[in-house]
Amino acid sequence: MEKNSIVKIISVYLRVAIATAYLWEVADRLGFLGAHGQPHVGWGDWAHFIDYASQVMHFLPSSFIPVLAVFASLGEGLFGLMLLFGLFTRIAALGSGVLSLCFAIAMAISFGIDSPLGYSVFTLSAASFLLAMQPQYAFSIDALLNKNKVQNDLSTL
């Protein structure tokens, strides 16, 4: 298999894996995966997610927590969709890297370093930054837009 094909496969794998993780967590906190306490459900609703966010960000003023929880959820949902479809992939991957790094640091402050390491949050951040550095994004809207731009540029010659 040639290097270009491997890079394409890795790029798609990173996009789908990161996007799936984000979209799964957003679905969980919105109750789409079931009620709190059911198997494979972490939060089950917004209230239980806010309780968890309060634990993670206990070092911040309590009035900040609901706002930051909304921003984090919007970021995860938006980055998840952008990565899944490959739209503004580099920007979404950088945003994902920063968001997950902030989460990992907050987890480490609140629960100790074993928590973000055990849940692979630093790995998610590193994978996001790795994705941002990929030279191309196969099977993406970005690739389609870039192809159309090149064709339009060539037609004007």
Rounded distance, CA 24 to CA 40, Å? 11
Please give the pLDDT value at position 155: 56
For 86, the 3-state DSSP assignment is coil
Name the pTM for this structure. Answer: 0.91
Please give the pLDDT value at position 1: 72
Q: Are 53 and 63 in contact (CB under 8 A)?
A: no
Rounded distance, CA 101 to CA 129, Å? 10
Contacting residues for 42 by C-beta, under 8 A, at least 6 apart? 25, 28, 29, 52
Locate the domains of the chain by residue range.
3-155
User: Quick one: 98 exposed, middle or buried, by C-beta within 10 A (0-12, 13-18, 19+)?
Assistant: middle
87 secondary structure, DSSP code: S
- The sign of the torsion formed by the CA atoms of 87, 89, 95, 97 equals positive
Residue 146, both tokens: 């870039």
pLDDT band at residue 146 under the 50/70/90 scheme: confident
pLDDT above 80: residue 74: yes
**Residues 5-23: tens digit of each pLDDT:** 898 999 999 999 999 999 9
**Which helix (H) or strand (E) is 100 found in, with range?**
helix 89-111
Q: Could you give the maximum distance between any two Cα atoms of the chain, in Å?
A: 63
Q: Are 44 and 37 in contact (CB under 8 A)?
A: yes
